[in-house]
Amino acid sequence: MSLIVRRRTFLVFILLGLVSLTADMVYEGARSVGGAYIESLNGPPIASAIASTGDLLGYVFRFISAVIASYLASSAAFWGITIVGYAINLLFIPFLGFTNTWYIATALYLVERTGRGLRTPLRDVILAEVSEDMGKGKGFGIHELLDQLGAIAGPLLVSIMITLYGYRIAFLSLLAPAFISMSFVTTAYMLYPRLKSVELSPPKISFRGLGRGFYIYILSMALLSLGYVHWMNVSYFLKYWNTLTDSEIALAYMVAMLTDAAIAIPIGVLYDKVKFKTLYIAPTSALLATILFIYTPTLGKPIAYAMAGLWGVTMGCFETIMRASIADVLPQEKRALGYGVYGLIYGITWTVGSFIYSYILLVSSIIATLYAIITLVASALLIRQINIS
């Protein structure tokens, strides 16, 4: 690869990071108070779980976009779906400022997730290609750091705007980073329009060749997402229990994103050295975060922020080493399909888990604790089988 091509590839890698930074300002800023906003519109507890089904929709669309793109095997299709996905992901959020009913707000959160679903697996294929030279773990780690800087800035901006002006202006203020993000992703496409890993593959769909290790990996991650409490549940119940105020919930989410950012590069570098052993971190941090969350009504505000930090560690694992793992357990021509399958299963199980938590958190803290222990310990036990496979 010539020096000019290397420089252009690195520039595209940085641009993709800046796309995620500005995009995260938009949707993570809005999601940080999603449950609290729905509660402020007099939505019932189940509404937080309904809003979380946006992730299921998003992951269904990840699968759909991955299947379509794999069949077309076209760089234009990969980039086109990615750009359209970003547009839907970002440009519906500001409309939250004009809602006055919880079901309209919930619908907008659902639409936003479909856009994210369309673009994510294809963006990850592009990212895996342009980060090949530096190491995929490190590349995804650097990308996640930039991503999480936006996820920190977004909730902070929303928290300040809610305090000063209320929800409407807070949501409308997210228009600026939305347009900046769209300009960055369009520039990245113009600089790197052809994807080698895509155009070398014949246009076909086949689930053969994914391998035993991939399916064990998927089962482990499914158990993890079943036990990993959704932030829509967290933010709803933190307000429902009167543990934190609306602006404090946004700040707690900012703590989660700050932790995510802090571990992104170190955990990515560690992954490049020891591979799948790093995956044990995720069920461990998820279990600790969930137990602290369940008992925040009695433990108080400091524990709520500590819980948010541990929640962010788990999310950091999802966004770095788990994405890098898929690229390592699959051949290049199977990556898009693999990301789509992973996303579909993850979305289904995380949504199911959010409905389960929305019910059992009202019933018994002991039942909620036992549920978290069973699912997350089982996930950790399966990770060993990924290493063996």
What mean pLDDT comes out for the span 58-73? Answer: 79
Amino acid 350: pLDDT = 87
Report d(CA 189, CA 130) in Å as an integer: 12
Contact assessment for residue 32 and residue 158, using Cβ atoms and an 8 Å cutoff: yes
Residue 70: HSE in the Cβ half-sphere, 13 Å Cα cutoff = 22
**Structural domain of 273:** 3-388
Select from 172, 121, 189, 181 the least CA-distant residue to 147: 181
Query: Is the per-residue pLDDT at 368 higher than 80?
Result: yes
Q: What would the pLDDT profile of 301-350 be if each residue is shown by its tens digit?
A: 999 999 999 999 998 888 788 777 777 777 666 677 777 788 788 888 98
Contact assessment for residue 111 and residue 96, using Cβ atoms and an 8 Å cutoff: no
Contact assessment for residue 82 and residue 102, using Cβ atoms and an 8 Å cutoff: no
Question: For the residues of 289-311, what is the DSSP string, one character each?
Answer: HHHHHHTHHHH-HHHHHHHHHHH
Amino acid 337: pLDDT = 75
Amino acid 389: pLDDT = 45
Q: Tell me the CATH number at 83.
A: 1.20.1250.20
Is the model's pTM score more than 0.75? no
Contact assessment for residue 157 and residue 165, using Cβ atoms and an 8 Å cutoff: no
Say what percent of the chain tops pLDDT 90.
31
How many domains does the structure of the chain reveal? Answer: 1
Q: What would the pLDDT profile of 167-209 be if each residue is shown by its tens digit?
A: 889 999 999 999 999 999 999 999 998 887 666 555 555 556 5
Query: Is the per-residue pLDDT at 42 higher than 50?
Result: yes
Amino acid 59: pLDDT = 78
More confident residue, 319 or 243: 243
Q: Predicted confidence band at 388 (pLDDT cuts at 50, 70, 90)?
A: very low
Residue 376, C-beta contacts closer than 8 angstroms, at least 6 positions apart = 223, 224, 227, 228, 283, 284, 286, 287, 290
Structure tokens at 254: 């900012």
Long-range contacts of 159-165 (CB under 8 A, 24+ apart): 159/32, 159/247, 159/250, 159/251, 159/254, 162/33, 162/246, 162/247, 162/250, 163/247
Amino acid 132: pLDDT = 75
Contact assessment for residue 88 and residue 112, using Cβ atoms and an 8 Å cutoff: yes
